[in-house]
Every structure is written in structure tokens, then in C-alpha cells.
Amino acid sequence: MMNRVGFGGFLTFTIMSAVAFGQPPQGGAQNAPGLGGPQGNAQALPINSVRPDYILGPNDQILIRVPQSDEINERPFRIDTDGFINLPLVGRVRAGGVTVQALEADLTTRLREYIREPVVGITVTQFRSEPVFFLGAFRVPGLYPLQGRRTLVEMLAYIGGLQPNASRRIKVQRRSEYGSIPLPNAVVDPDKKVSSVEISLDSLTQNINPEEDLLLEPFDVITSDRAERVYMFGEIGRIGAIELAERPSISVIQALTEAGGFKEFASRDKVRILRPILGTNRRAEIEIDVKRVLEGKDVDFPLLPNDALVVSRSYARATFIPIGTAMIGSIPFIIITSILR
């Protein structure tokens, strides 16, 4: 059997391959019940927590609504170990291995023999296993039954990883009845009775901190937002946001290049970076001399998610224009070309 380190490495490769080559998992969230593990242990959930493409399986309990049939309407039915349910009027019906939506359609067709225009609605009221939730910018977000002991890396690999424009940081939130998340940077909210933590996907997949490969608990919520951005303002070609995509950071020179470079009167020696101060609404100011960076005298500086780069106007450059420059600017292009030759 593959040990955990080896298996984790394989799954790391799977996650990165899915992200790099755009291959979603076969079947997606609806195939999650196929994971191995003990059956039973059903758990009630809010009725609006399941997508219609959730694939039903043995020991799921469903509530069927057919207003035209008193024998079936608002009655719970549990799917047996063979994947069937027994209903009044229609008898034994296969429910295991089909989606909620498909079962609704099947029952509607069957009930037409007895009811003129049957209206069928199905809600999963109990699951065969406690679920975990993957929300946001995952390739196949949704609800996944947590059968057996599953780690964060295993489940990320199973659902196909993140979308290309997803953030490189994911958030895990856990109910207090399952204990606090066992990481030193986890934050406990006693009012909401949850703990939460942010984890770098790069750190996770490179196994830099093995403890971050959390053993998931029932009802854990794993969230991924869209990729972080850096914001560009001032005397540059294009003002706006630059998505970091899969990059953890972008250098000042790279960002300026993507933003179209400096305008004519931009101040190159006093470019400001406004960096958010964690836990506050304030920003720290960092001053960069881009002129020295371009001359190779200083090292390029990384912009982190949500940094704002501000290029001010150089009034000295705008006011004092060399006479030669002004004269050249007035010479027709064809003459300049001849001089340069």
C-alpha cells in the first residue's frame, strides 16, 4: 500500500495537473458518493443544500412531494442497500446511482399511468455520510459525502482542484463541536462557534508544512475565491487591476509592463506601493525607485495580493522640457527617420 507521503505526492501531482491542463474530475461532485468508506451514519441537512445533480445512493433518505397523490406526498423513503425504493402505485424503483433530477423525471413518467399531470419534487433529508462543502472557484464545487478519513489534499485531487482564475489561498472553516482546526494560525470565533484558517495552495501541494494537509471533519466548509489582484494607478498606460492567476506575486517591473509602462511625465524614482495591514483598514506605504531597478542598481520588488501601485506625475519633468526634445518633437517623422539612419 502506498504510504501517506507517497500518496500525498501523487495527489499533489493530480491537483497541479488538473489546474494546469484544465481536466475536471470525471463526473464531478455528483460522483462523490462513489468514494469508499462505511455506509450509514446519516445526517440531516438543510433542504436547500443539495444540487439536483447529486447522485443518490444506498441509505440516503429522500422526501417525495406529489401533491396529487396522498399515498406518496410528503413521505420519507430510504434507499435500500440494493439502491431501490418501494413506492405506492409504482412499486420498486431504482434510485441508487441516479441524480435527484433524474429520479424526479423517472417518477413523473411512471406516475402518468395513474395521475394526469403529476408534479414530482424530491428533497434529500438524510445522507449516507456526513458531507463537506467546496464553495467558490473550484472546478466542480458542491457537496461531497465524507466517507472514511479524507485529507484536504485527497479531496482537492478528487474534485479536480481549482479553476484557472482561482486564488492561490483557500479557507477552511470548521464547526466547534468537531474541535478547533489544529494549526497555529487558525482563528476561533466563539460567537459563530467556528474556527477558520487560510492555507496557501503552493505550501500545501509542495508539502512545506505537512500539518496543513488537514484531516477533514464533517460539515467542514472549504472556500476558494477568485484570484487575488494588484491595482495600478497614476501615470501608467492602463489603470486597473492585474489578476495574479496562479502567481503568488508579481514584480513591480512585470506589473508596469502589463499595465503599458510609464506615461511621459511619470515619476520613475518615487513609485509608491500601498500594502494592506492585516486586520485593519489601513495600508503601509513602501517607496520604490524603479529607475534604479531598471539600471540594475536595486533588486525588483514583489507586489503581493491587494497591493496598490501608484505612479505619481513628475512636475519637474512636465515643466522643464529640454529645448532639444521640443525641437525634435516638432520635426516631421520622415526627417527624424533620416537623421537616425
pLDDT digits (tens, 9 = 90+) for 86-138: 999 999 999 998 989 999 999 999 999 999 999 999 998 887 777 899 999 99
Q: Which residue has the higher pLDDT, 322 or 162?
A: 162
Residue pair 301/294 in contact by the 8 Å Cβ criterion: no
Domain match, 81 and 103 both: yes
Say whether pLDDT at 1 is over 80: no
Whole-number pLDDT of residue 252: 96
| Residue % of the chain over a pLDDT of 90 | 51
In a domain, 94, yes or no: yes
Say whether pLDDT at 5 is over 60: no
Q: Average per-residue pLDDT in the chain?
A: 79
pLDDT digits (tens, 9 = 90+) for 14-63: 444 333 333 334 434 443 333 333 333 333 333 344 567 778 888 889 99
Residue pair 76/61 in contact by the 8 Å Cβ criterion: yes
Residue pair 261/236 in contact by the 8 Å Cβ criterion: yes
Domain of 16, CATH number, reads 3.10.560
Domain that holds residue 183: 4-30+135-225
Domain end among 181, 209, 225: 225
| Whole-angstrom distance, CA of residue 26 vs CA of residue 23 | 9
**R_g of the chain, CA atoms, integer Å:** 29
Residue pair 219/132 in contact by the 8 Å Cβ criterion: yes
In a domain, 333, yes or no: no
Whole-number pLDDT of residue 31: 37
Residue pair 78/95 in contact by the 8 Å Cβ criterion: no
Domain of 85, CATH number, reads 3.30.1950.10
Say whether pLDDT at 322 is over 70: no
Domain match, 314 and 235 both: yes
Contacts 24+ apart (CB under 8 A), 204-207: 204/152, 204/153, 204/170, 205/12, 205/15, 205/16, 205/153, 206/12, 207/5, 207/8, 207/9, 207/12
Q: Which residue has the higher pLDDT, 166 or 220?
A: 220
Total domains in the chain come to 3
